[in-house]
Amino acid sequence: MGLRQGSGGYHLTTISAEEAFQAYEAVRHRLPDVTQTDQTYRDAATLEDLADEFDVFLLDAFGVLNIGETAIPDTPERVRNLKAAGKRVLVVSNAAGFPHASLMEKYTRLGYDFAPEDVITSRATLLEGLETRRGLHWGLMATRSTGLRDLEGLNLTYLEEDPAPYAAVDGFLMIGSAAWTEKRQALLEDALKERPRPVLVGNPDIVAPREKGFSTEPGHFAHRLADRTGAAPEFFGKPFNNIFDLAFKRLGPVEKSRVVMVGDSLHTDILGARSAGVASALISGYGFFAGQDVAAAISRAGIVPDFVVGRP
């Protein structure tokens, strides 16, 4: 993937949606193995068309609530309408790079009214996974400018150009790739070849949709180092069950047949929903598949949603 520093503070790729799709297909052996059936999907115009069938809506962020720093038109009102109809609406997002408070400020700015406990992120999922490993010294892939809120109490050293921390730490946390460079990636790969250690990935996404293309996310670099070093990264977030376990913990007792996961990615949102045992709805008009042949992609991947929805 060709990388350059985007004006929004993230790596903006020059790859196409087709190349991004192929990148996900290439790492299917590391994603949940869910047996597919001859299931077919139904088409719907908006999420309100599904309101009678579900009590809980789990919404991805990028591609469902927003594209980059812009809310998807009419979606804040759609969310308000679902809540007014008595639906429980949660955000379930692979947003590991930003503190929880920063995300809440962003959603408010975009016109959404979510309670803090109703925003479930891969950052929070990673923190749950670290509860029994807090005594370790971790090397951190993250952007200094986003700060360390939520990560207080962890023994962390930023991974930058100095090779010493790569050799010294007990393991590695990959949560934000905006400041990551090829030099840093090489240092990390060399360190793992020299001495294998745990690698925990707080965002399994390979790419995320932005206003002008895709940004490159930590999952891209994690899969790359796995291919080159033999490391077995531990992923936190969609499509892995740990983030859904956290969502259900927040929800309390709920009938899974009345829960739907809404997202724009077959390989994270829809595959994750199938693995978690809930229904799924793929957004086709925004995000990953905007302007693409969704039916062909579903057929090629063999990952079949319950619904294909034109817009949130």
CA distance 185 to 183: 5
| pLDDT tens, position by position, 99-129 | 999 999 999 999 999 999 999 999 999 999 9
Domain ranges of the chain: 39-94+239-309, 133-235
CA dihedral 290, 88, 113, 64 (to 10 degrees): -10
CA distance 148 to 244: 24
- Whole-model pTM above 0.85? yes
List of residues 6+ apart from 123 with CB closer than 8 A: 95, 96, 97, 98, 99, 100, 150, 175, 202
Q: Is residue 174 within 8 Å of 222, Cβ to Cβ?
A: yes
Tokens of 222: 């994690």
Tokens of 40: 């077919």
What is the Cβ-side half-sphere exposure of residue 72, based on CA atoms within 13 angstroms?
25
| pLDDT tens, position by position, 53-111 | 999 999 999 999 998 889 999 999 999 999 999 999 999 999 999 999 999 999 999 99
- Tell me yes or no: is domain 39-94+239-309 CATH 3.40.1590.10: no
pLDDT above 90: residue 227: yes
Tokens of 187: 């240092």
- Say how many C-beta atoms besides its own lie within 10 A of residue 135's C-beta: 8
Q: Examine domains 39-94+239-309 and 133-235 and report if their fold is the same.
A: yes
Pairing assessment for the beta strands 70-71 and 88-93 based on DSSP bridges: unpaired
pLDDT above 80: residue 14: no
Lowest-pLDDT choice from 7-21, 136-150, 286-300: 7-21
- For residue 147, the model assigns a pLDDT of 86
Q: Residue 5 in 3-state DSSP? A: strand
Tokens of 254: 């709920």
| pLDDT tens, position by position, 127-184 | 999 999 989 999 999 999 888 999 988 999 999 999 999 999 999 999 999 999 999 9
**CATH classification number, 133-235, choose in 3.40.50.720, 3.40.50.1970, 3.30.70.2470, 3.40.50.1000:** 3.40.50.1000
- Say how many C-beta atoms besides its own lie within 10 A of residue 41's C-beta: 18
Identify any residues that bridge with 92 across adjacent strands, giving them in sequence order.
120
Q: Is residue 178 within 8 Å of 210, Cβ to Cβ?
A: no
- For residue 231, the model assigns a pLDDT of 96
Q: Is residue 260 within 8 Å of 280, Cβ to Cβ?
A: yes
